[in-house]
Structures are given as C-alpha cells and as structure tokens.
Amino acid sequence: MSLKRPLIFLGLFAALALLYYFYEYKGGKEREAQEALEKKAVQFSADSLDRFIVIARRDSAPGADTTVLEHSTAGWKITAPFPVAADSEAVARLLSNAAGAALDRVVEDSAADLSIFGLDTPKLVLEVFPSGLKESRRLSIGNKSPGDSYIYAANAVAPHKVILLNSWVLSDLNKTVKDLRDKKLLHADRNRIGRLVSAGAEPGVTLRLEKQDEQWRLTAPLAAPAESDSVKNLLEKITGAEAKGFIDTLTVGGLKTYGLDPPQLTLTLVEQGSAALHELRFGGRDSAGNYYARRKEMDGLFLAGADLVELLKRDPSALRDMALVSQPKDKINRLTLVLPLERITAVKDSGDTWRLSEPKAARADGSKIDGLLWDLKDLKAKSFLQSPYAKVENYFKQPFLEVIFRADSTENRLTFARGADRPADSLVYVKVSRSPDVAVVDSSTAWRLVQTFDELCYRRIIEFDTGKITRVRLEFPGRTLELEKKGENWQISGPEKVKAQGWKVQNLLWDLSELKFTQVISENGADSTAYGFAAPVLKAAFWAGDSLAAGLTFADSVAGKDERCLRASGDPKIYAVEGSVFRGIPDTVEKFKPEDK
C-alpha cells in the first residue's frame, strides 16, 4: 500500500488537533474571559489607575460629597475636598469591590426615563481614570429595586442601559474622606523598633526602653530587664492605634488651645540600624475623654484614645520582667541547693543525664530535677525593693535556701530569706546575683525549690518493659506460682494450668516496674541475713523470652515501720519499700483467676 494515504490521514488528524486547541481549548478560555469581562459593572484593573472620584449623595444632606484620590509612587492620596493621606488598605478594598462588581441582569437596553430608576441624580457615581487611557470609566448607581436586594445602575459606555447589581455594591463603594483617609497614629514597623522614649511635660525621662541583643531592657527611670511580651503588646498598641477623629482646622489659639504647646507627653520611636524616627505628641482631652495628638509634620490634629495614653503613663515597673531566672532551662547543666543542714549538687552529663555529686554520688531522678528547673524558671517576683532597708539586709545573714546554677559557663545565685515582718506562709525575700534589687516572691513558689538529697535521688529499684514480659515466677514459702503469656493472653502454668485474668497480671507488672524505695538500709548488703534474706517471704522473677529481665526478693519487715526489706538481682543494696507493695502481690492461684460473673 502506498505511504501517501496514511500521510494524508496523519495531516488531517494534526489539523483537527490544532483546530480543537485554538478554537475549543484556547479559544474557549478566551471566550470565557471575554464573557466575564462583559459582565463587569465597570471595566478596569484595580492596580492600573492614576486617579478616581467618588461622588456620593446623602439622604440627610443637600448636594453631594465629592472625594478625589490620586496615585503616585508614594501611594494613594486624597486631593479633594482637601489634601490628606489615604488609607491604602481602605482604598484597595474599594477598588477591588468596584472592579469585581458584576451585573445580575439587564433591566432595559435603552431606558427613555432614567428618573424611574434614580439614575438622573444617582446616589453614587464612581469615575476611574486608568493609566494610559484618555477616557475615564464611570458607574452610576441609583435606587434600590423592589425587595431591596438589588440596585439599578448604568455604565457611561451605555448610559441608558439599566442593569441590576447586588445592593451591597452601594455600601461597598459609598465612601467619603472619613472612610478613606489614613487613620494610623504612626506608620512604624514594630519589629524594627530599637528604642522607645516616653517623656512627660516635666523635665526628665518618664520611660525609656532599649533593645539590646534582641532583648528589651528598661534603661530609665530604672535599669532592669523588660518583659518581652509586655513590650511587644505595648508596641502593637502603638503601631496599631487609629485616630478616633480629626481636627483639620485649628482654632485661633493654635496648638496651645489643645494642650500641645508644649505637649503633655511626647512618644518617640527609633528604628534599629537607621536614623528613622517617629514622634507623636499628646496634649489635653476633649469632652469625650480622647487626647488631642499630632505627628510632628502634621498641620491638623487627631484624637487618640485614652487607653493608649494611659498605657504610656502607667508605672514603668509594670514593664519590668518579673522572672528571676532568664536562662533557658535546657541550658542549665549544674544545680546546687544549699539548705541550713545540707548541700546538694546535681550535674548533667554529656548524655543529658542528671547525677548527684554532693553530699554523695548517686543517680538523680531526672523528672524531679526537671520539675525543680521548671519551678526555678517560673519563679516570678511580686515586686522589687530597689533600695532595701537595713532590716531586710539582715534577714539574708540567715537564708533558708540558696540556689546556685550554671548555664553554659555562667554561674548564677538566688538567696532566699524569710523576714520577721512577714508571716511564714506569706512572702519571702530573694537576692539575685548581679542585681542590686531585692525581689519579693510568694513563699509557696519558693518552698517548692526546697528539696533534700533523698527527695532528688532516683528511687526506682528495677526497670523493665512490661509489654515484653512473657513469664513470671512468684516463690512464696511452701508454694510457687508460675504464669506464662501465650500470644496476648496470660495463663497460670503452675501449680495448675488455668486461664489468668490478664489485667491482674498487667497490674502486678506495672506496680513492680514502678517500685520505689523509701530508704537504703544497707549500701553493700553484707549483713543481709539480719534482715531475713536467708528465709525470704517472696522471690519474684520476670523473663522476657529466655532472658531474665528482673528479680526481686522480699524479706523481713522494717522495725517500727510499715515497710519491707527488699533486694534486686544484680544490686548489692538492701532497700526498704512500703509494706502495701508486698501485700498487694497476689499470693494464690485464685487471686489471678478471672472473677465469676
């Protein structure tokens, strides 16, 4: 067969494919875009305007309000009825809503009488001037339709073609100078601020905050670390504050009439790494309690809310960091508690395991040390004594606790003293290294730091994974109980074979794996016979597969206490444990069997 025919078919297929692509696929998208464009109430791109005008009529006032806005490299500015900076976000919302407004349907293609629809004297006219075009685009909005869900409108391209728009379009576009003007008290990026100064009318600085190595500090009227969240909140309030109102034309008395010559309070913000400076001046108050305020470069005034000014006037100590320990908890690698009768030191090794080194070497309870460090980190002052009087200084001659800790290579010390002028359950005094002030803290938080060597020791006797235990042997005098795990189920394998209640075995494993001693009776166990280990009351063994995971031996009771002597396999020490632990171990087959229903 000739190759000519297949080549013809291939050419036809390629032509059809191209036809489909350009007409159906690409052309379809272009048609959809064109249809969407034709449904626009007014056709323009919100980011391509040089100028726009809003003419709004008010039912309560004669005439119309005309607001003109122009765009430059500096952004939008209101130029009429008077020049003033515009709120870029409010302008962007208005233009986006206008560009997105779509007609619902056409009411009349060529209306003879526009007054029927309120379009002879529209309620609102929006006229936009796109860049590079000679002609403007205009949308007129008239009355609401019956039912108030829609409004009548007309486009300057076809001024007698009446269309319906959703009624919300009118409220979205019906904006005046009041709605579109810039209301920000200050234009400053709070993340770039490096210094804040708030100065009153009297000589001297009321408040100064400075950012040093990303940490805020009070530098006047006192020198102390500042609480970062409090400073952050203050800066958010300042940079986010908006005017409650405006005074564009001052009275004859000028600034003095408004208490701004001189100002009652001056706020200055300085950006880090630059000379950028933002200044805000506050004067007297109006009848509603708002403060008259102005930026240095302003001609008029605005009204600032009283909450912002009162925040700047409050006691600077409210911004002070009340935490007595600033170092991260995880950075602390050495901790010493000095009590009247004991000195305890814990050291964290390279594996992040805490060990006690003083008064003797022992493994520390990591959870107890962690809790102690959290309590230390959470220790906060109720107040500070900047000039402690002599009586308070005398209290520190007999402290009830000293906490010495090292974070990296820096040593820090907190000294706690209880004063005769305070009840034992009230407040205590604390001295912090490298600070001249004395902190006053709640005694309950301070007493949580008082821990003894025995309380910080690791007290678990054995450790094993209860989920891996497959065999248990309990040897009591005269009888032995054996249990085995088959799959997920436990059964008694001796002295008789019978099903065991699984949760009873699991409870036994949990109780003994978490077993903690009350005291160490003997470090080397040399005198074990004196404690009854020659004739124990119970020997318990636990296997994981063929490997012995743990073993415990219970012997005599501790004289005068509800405790039992105990040893663990592989450990020479003799411990005392609570007597209830031994009594809670099932000692008969019946106690392991399922309960009768």
Give the chain's domain count: 5
Residue pLDDT, tens place only, 50-75 = 999 999 987 766 778 999 999 999 89
Could you report the per-residue pLDDT of 462-512, keeping only the tens digit for each? 999 999 999 999 999 999 999 999 999 999 999 999 999 999 999 999 999
pLDDT computed for residue 527 by the predictor: 86
Contact 136, 55 (CB under 8 A): no
Q: Does any domain span residue 445? A: yes
Domain match, 131 and 248 both: no
Of the candidates 116, 122, 6, which has an alpha carbon nearest to the alpha carbon of residue 56?
122
What is the pLDDT confidence band of residue 5, given thresholds at 50, 70 and 90?
A: low
In the block, tokens 């069997």 appear at: 593
57 and 169 co-located in one domain: yes
Average pLDDT of the chain is 90
- C-alpha pair distances (Å), 262 with each of 244, 259, 278, 296: 22, 7, 18, 12
User: For 325-347, what is the mean pLDDT?
Assistant: 94
**How far apart (Å, rounded) are the C-alpha atoms in residues 95 and 101?**
10
Residue 169, in any domain of the structure: yes
Whether 333 and 452 map to the same domain: the answer is yes
Write down which residue in 319, 347, 371 finishes a domain.
Answer: 319
pLDDT band per the 50, 70, 90 thresholds, residue 172? very high
Beta carbons within 8 Å of 206's beta carbon, 6+ residues apart: 198, 199, 200, 221, 265, 312, 313, 316
Give residue 477's pLDDT: 96
The CA–CA distances, whole Å, from 191 to 188, 211, 233, 321, 356 equal 9, 11, 12, 19, 44
Residue 42: inside a domain: no
Based on the fold, state whether residues 201 and 105 are members of the same structural domain: no
Work out the burial of residue 473: count CB atoms within 10 Å of its CB; fewer than 13 is exposed, 13-18 middle, 19 or more buried. middle
Domain holding 539, by residue range, is 466-583
267 in a domain, yes or no?
yes
Measure the CA angle with vertex 415, ends 412 and 416; round to 5°: 145
Together in a domain, 116 and 209: no
State the pLDDT at residue 252.
Answer: 87
pLDDT confidence bin for 578, thresholds 50/70/90: very high
Residue 185 lies in a domain: no
CA angle 470, 473, 476 (to 5 degrees): 160
Which of 175, 208, 237 terminates a domain? The answer is: 175
SS3 per-residue string spanning 88-113: HHHHHHHHHHHHHCECCEEEECCCCC
Using an 8 Å Cβ cutoff, are 151 and 142 in contact? yes
Instruction: Tell me if 401 is assigned to some domain.
Output: yes
Q: Which tens digit of pLDDT belongs to each residue from 350-371? A: 889 999 999 999 999 999 999 9
Q: With bands split at pLDDT 50, 70 and 90, how would you rate the model's confidence at 343?
A: very high
512-571 per-position pLDDT tens digit: 999 999 999 998 998 899 999 999 999 999 999 999 999 999 999 999 999 999 999 999
Question: Residue 44 falls within a domain, yes or no?
Answer: no
**pLDDT given for residue 311 in this prediction:** 92
CA distance 28 to 325: 68
Query: Model confidence at 297, in pLDDT bands (50, 70, 90)?
Result: confident
Same domain, 488 and 411: no
Rounded CA gap, 173 and 181, in Å? 14
Of 297, 319, 341, the last residue of a domain is 319
Per the structure block, which two tokens stand in for 584? 């809670």
CATH code for the domain in which residue 261 is found: 2.60.40
Answer for the pair 574, 540: CB distance below 8 angstroms, yes or no.
Answer: no
